[in-house]
């Protein structure tokens, strides 16, 4: 007896440089238990083009019409952060399972509202790095005590984004009001992987800088003011007792890297990655001084049909989120990090911001 695949509708699946087109579409194409059933944008022309390019059966120029479609099982919200709240709340009110890109809201208050509205519905948040197979295996090694007592950890992470130049279409990332910034995206993904391996962060000291307060918009020649940090150094304590030093650098075009090294009384492990966009994009590799079973095989790969080759690997971790959400829906479980987890991440980043602003250590992060 064949089982019908879960039908996904993506809001924000544009053919022009969209994250959904680069990651969500190829992830779904790799997973036999899910199918891209519909796409929605704000305009008929772009919605039609997306449906044709991504082989979706239906298209909508009104995202709320997609939400009202009774045939859709999972609504994916992959639009600019200020638009998340209304779309997510509408999808939850319609009883849908919802996968929303991170950050969930423009601030903690919005994240609290959406997390409360989710209730018992299935949700997933786009903090996909923690579900990478290598990260899961590293967490297992630490959790099983294979490294002994965890003594310390260090993280070095880079992204090509938030540097001295940008395109005008992406200038909103340089504005705090957008909710989509170096801290809420790049740093949030890095810290989420730290927590996946070492347990929740319980205290944090931080220093932020804005190295490039003026940004050249390369396509127009105009200059824009950046009102967010583009560099962070922090020290955190985690639930496993480890002290973690973290540095996240923006605007790195050469030798991109992510390195998380954990030292224990009985051994060490190291997670590494090298995608220009940051740790959440692309695969990670695990090495250790102790024997371990190789990480599980990736469930998704490839690049979207309209995406630049720069985004190769973006489907890997997004595919893990979809696979986890599909298991939860079929088994009646709630293992996939969802909106409650998104709220925790939002509160953590707010604590980093307070620590940097006040110069005082932040605890009781919630």
pLDDT in tens, 68-97: 999 999 999 999 999 999 999 999 999 999
pLDDT of residue 2: 58
Upstream peptide bond of 281 is cis (omega within 30 degrees of 0): no
Residue 18 confidence class, pLDDT cut points 50, 70, 90: confident
And the tokens for 309?
């080759």
pLDDT of residue 217: 97
pLDDT of residue 59: 98
How large a percentage of the chain has pLDDT more than 90? 93
pLDDT of residue 86: 98
pLDDT of residue 331: 96
Lowest mean pLDDT among 9-23, 68-82, 208-222, 284-298: 9-23
Please report which helix (H) or strand (E) contains residue 247, including its range. Answer: strand 243-249
- The answer to whether 17 and 83 have CB atoms below 8 angstroms apart is no
Half-sphere exposure at residue 30, Cβ-oriented, CA atoms within 13 angstroms: 24
Q: What are the residues whose beta carbons fall under 8 Å from the beta carbon of 110, sequence distance 6 or more?
A: 84, 85, 104, 179
Mean pLDDT of 5-28: 94
- The overall average pLDDT reported for the chain is 96
| Alpha-carbon gap, residue 179 to 143, rounded angstroms | 33
Number of independent structural domains in the chain: 1
pLDDT of residue 117: 98
In this model, does residue 288 exceed pLDDT 80?
yes
And the tokens for 297?
């095989």
* Dihedral sign of CA atoms 340, 345, 348, 350 in order: negative
pLDDT tens digits, 238-264: 998 889 999 999 999 999 999 999 999
**Is residue 55 one of the residues assigned to a domain?**
no
**Is residue 360 one of the residues assigned to a domain?**
no
pLDDT of residue 1: 45
Number of other residues whose CB lies within 10 A of the CB of residue 48:
14
Give the CA distances from residue 42 to residues 15, 37, 61, 122, in Å, rounded to whole numbers and listed in that order.
13, 17, 5, 26
**Is residue 68 one of the residues assigned to a domain?**
no
pLDDT tens digits, 124-150: 999 999 999 999 999 999 999 999 999
Query: Domain range for residue 278?
Result: 130-292+339-345
Residue 178 confidence class, pLDDT cut points 50, 70, 90: very high
In this model, does residue 17 exceed pLDDT 80?
no
**Is residue 223 one of the residues assigned to a domain?**
yes
**Is residue 94 one of the residues assigned to a domain?**
no
Q: In what order do the strands lie in the sheet with 97-100?
A: 58-60, 34-40, 6-11, 74-77, 97-100, 123-125
**Is residue 307 one of the residues assigned to a domain?**
no
pLDDT tens digits, 20-37: 999 999 999 999 999 999
Q: Which long-range contacts (CB under 8 A, 24 or more apart) does 12-15 make?
A: 12/40, 12/41, 12/76, 12/77, 12/78, 12/79, 13/39, 13/40, 13/41, 13/50, 13/54, 13/56, 13/78, 14/41, 14/46, 14/50, 15/46, 15/49, 15/50, 15/53, 15/54, 15/306
Mean pLDDT of 57-73: 97
Domain CATH for 157? 3.30.360.10
Residue 359, Cα to own-chain centre: how many angstroms? 28
pLDDT of residue 107: 97
**Is residue 228 one of the residues assigned to a domain?**
yes
**Is residue 164 one of the residues assigned to a domain?**
yes
pLDDT of residue 366: 64
pLDDT of residue 15: 92
């Amino acid at each position: 007896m064949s089982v019908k695949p879960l039908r996904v509708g993506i809001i924000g699946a544009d053919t022009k440089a969209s994250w959904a087109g680069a990651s969500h579409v190829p992830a779904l194409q790799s997973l036999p238990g899910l199918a891209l059933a519909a796409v929605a944008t704000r305009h008929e022309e772009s919605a039609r083009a997306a449906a044709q390019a991504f082989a979706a059966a239906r298209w909508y120029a009104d995202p709320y019409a997609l939400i009202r479609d009774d045939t859709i099982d999972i609504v994916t919200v992959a639009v600019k952060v200020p638009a998340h709240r209304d779309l997510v709340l509408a999808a939850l009110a319609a009883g849908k399972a919802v996968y929303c890109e991170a950050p969930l809201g423009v601030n903690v208050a919005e994240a609290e509202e959406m997390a409360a509205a989710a209730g018992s519905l299935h949700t997933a948040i786009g903090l996909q790095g923690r579900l990478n197979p290598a990260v899961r295996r590293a967490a297992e090694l630490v959790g099983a005590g294979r490294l002994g007592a965890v003594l310390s950890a260090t993280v070095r992470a880079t992204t090509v984004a938030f540097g001295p130049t940008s395109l005008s279409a992406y200038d909103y990332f340089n504005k705090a009001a957008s909710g989509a910034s170096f801290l809420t995206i790049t740093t949030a993904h890095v810290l989420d992987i730290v927590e996946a391996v070492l347990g929740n962060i319980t205290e944090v000291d931080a220093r932020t800088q804005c190295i490039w307060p003026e940004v050249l918009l390369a396509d127009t020649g105009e200059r824009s003011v950046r009102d967010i940090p583009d560099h962070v150094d922090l020290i955190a304590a985690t639930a496993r007792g480890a002290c973690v030093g973290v540095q996240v650098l923006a605007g790195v075009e050469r030798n991109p890297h992510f390195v998380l090294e954990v030292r224990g009384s009985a051994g060490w492990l190291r997670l590494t990655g090298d995608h220009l966009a940051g740790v959440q994009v692309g695969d990670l590799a695990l090495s250790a001084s102790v024997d371990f079973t190789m990480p599980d095989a990736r469930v998704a790969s490839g690049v979207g049909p309209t995406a630049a080759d720069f985004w190769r690997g973006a489907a890997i971790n997004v595919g893990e989120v979809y696979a986890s959400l599909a298991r939860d829906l079929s088994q009646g479980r709630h293992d996939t990090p969802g909106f409650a987890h998104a709220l925790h991440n939002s509160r953590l980043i707010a604590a980093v911001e307070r620590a940097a602003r006040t110069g005082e250590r932040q605890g009781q992060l919630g």
